Amino acid sequence: MKQETEVWLAQAEEHRKDAEYCIQGSRYSLALYSYHQALEKVLKAAIVEFAEKIPPKSHNLDDLFKQTTLTPEGDSWYEDLAEITRHFWRARYPDYRQYVYTSKSKVDPTITQFQSIYPWVKDKLEHT
């Protein structure tokens, strides 16, 4: 694994752990923000490792995934990544947070999306 890939991956893991900590503390909007950051960083690691280029300064996960050169395992992954990206923007504003991110059951679908994609990409990186 390239050294730059390792740096991106370490940051991704830090954000993943932050998200899990926030879930335990019922900080759901911050958890989704951190899950987005974890995915963004793991995808940028994959761009460095597999596409062999500098990752763009972008937060759009579906676009970043396309640049990794990986083939998605799930049929809905691009849609799932676009949805997680929307949460990245929404979680930053109080008018959404006070209504949308009020319980674990409301954020569980997004957590499930994260849990299907993130470990898969991370595994690809660790087994290259």
pLDDT tens series, the chain, 128 aa: 999 999 999 999 999 999 999 999 999 999 999 999 999 999 999 999 999 999 999 999 999 999 999 999 989 999 999 999 998 888 887 877 777 888 999 999 999 999 999 999 999 999 98
CATH of the domain at 71: 1.20.120.330
Q: What is the pTM of this model?
A: 0.95
In one letter, which amino acid is 4? E
Domain limits for position 57: 3-126
Residue pair 51/67 in contact (Cβ under 8 Å)? The answer is: yes
Rounded Cα gap, residues 11 and 91, in angstroms: 20
> Who's near 121: CB < 8 A, 6+ residues apart?
39, 42, 43, 45, 46, 68, 70
How many domains, in total, are found in the chain? 1
